[in-house]
Structure 1
Amino acid sequence: MSDVSEKINRLEQAKRQINEEQNACLGEIGKIKYPELAGSWMGKRAGDFQDARSDAYKAMSTIIHVDYDDYQEKIEGKITMLNIEKTALNAAGTIAHEADALLGKGETFIEQLESKISYLKGWLF
């Protein structure tokens, strides 16, 4: 259970860091298009430079708006799966504790114990 909780914590931290990086990039991406070249640059070199800047802007925009969101969705999916696993482990622990308590009560409760163990086995396997 603690291993699953640790994985969840690490994934949540990674998700926060990706979100922070995404926000920082959103603030910086506009700088790719500055300074405006306007009429001060002309010719083939100016056109090539403008094309390279435009390509860089498109690539960064894809990373910021698509890739970062994909990473965060994948992490969120893994967190959800780990939370389900954590819930299952918690339920299995509760059932095992109940079975142990019944075992301590003696033979009068052996049928109830067998039922709990069968239920636990069926649930886990």
Structure 2
Amino acid sequence: MGYESMLADIKSSLNGKISDVEDKIEKLKKAKKDIDTLQEEAITEIKDIVKPELGKHWTGTKADDFDKGREDAKSEASKIVNDKYNDYMASISGEILDLEFQKATYAGELVLANTAGDLLAKGEDYVEEAGKHISKLKWW
């Protein structure tokens, strides 16, 4: 296989990998936005857990137990919406960073491949130098 066809395969593969990574990044960013919206909605709904307030006619241990149950539910829902939300969002952000690093790595490899292609286009005097650039490609 000549350098030209090898470079064409490498470039095609790298462009495909970059496209796949970009798709994953966009999906994760959309998921973050959707989760933000859901969290805002949940915070609003959590406030409603303790509504309506018990009137003056609701007294005694049953009323106290009922109020305590609502407060416990509000507290637990708040933990989920706030604490677990933050952990989940941090996990998604970390994944996005990993994918952006992958994308940058692939883009760097593509620059090397393009440089090798440019050298090949200059003629036979540059084939050896182009071969050196091709050998630097990490994924091949």
Relative to the length of structure 1, the TM-score reads 0.87
Query: Partner of 1:28 in structure 2?
Result: 45
Partner amino acid for 2:60? G
The answer to whether residue 71 in structure 2 is matched with residue 61 in structure 1 is no
- SS of equivalent to 1:49: helix
Partner secondary structure for residue 101 of structure 2: helix
Q: Which has the higher contact order (CA 8 A, sep 6+)?
A: 2
Unaligned runs of 5+ in 2: 1-17
CA distance in 2, matches of 1:80, 1:40: 56
Matches of residues 104-115 of structure 1 in structure 2 within 5 Å?
Answer: 104-115=121-132
Tell me which amino acid in the other structure corresponds to 2:45. E
Amino acid at match of 1:13: K
Between the aligned partners of 1:38 and 1:112, the Cα distance in structure 2 is 86
Aligned residues: 123
**One-letter identity of the residue aligned with 2:70:** R
* 1:41 match: 58
Aligned residue identity for 1:90: A
1:110 CA displacement: 2.9
Matched letter for residue 66 of structure 2 = F
Equivalent residue for 2:97?
A: 80
> 3-state DSSP class of the match of 2:137?
helix
Offset at 1:41?
A: 1.6
Structure 1 gaps, min length 5:
none
Kindly provide the amino acid, as one letter, of the partner of residue 2 in structure 1. Answer: S
> Could you list the per-position Cα deviations for residues 4-57 of structure 1 after superposition, in whole angstroms to 9, with x for gaps in the alignment?
111011100000000001111122211111222254222232122112101110
Q: Give the whole-Å Cα distance in 1 for the aligned partners of 2:121 and 2:94.
A: 41
Quote the Cα distance in structure 2 between the aligned partners of 1:81 and 1:75.
10
Deviation at 1:105, TM superposition (A): 2.7
User: Aligned pair 1:16/2:52, yes or no?
Assistant: no
Q: Following TM superposition, where does structure 1 have runs of at least 4 consecutive aligned residues deviating by more than 6 angstroms?
A: none
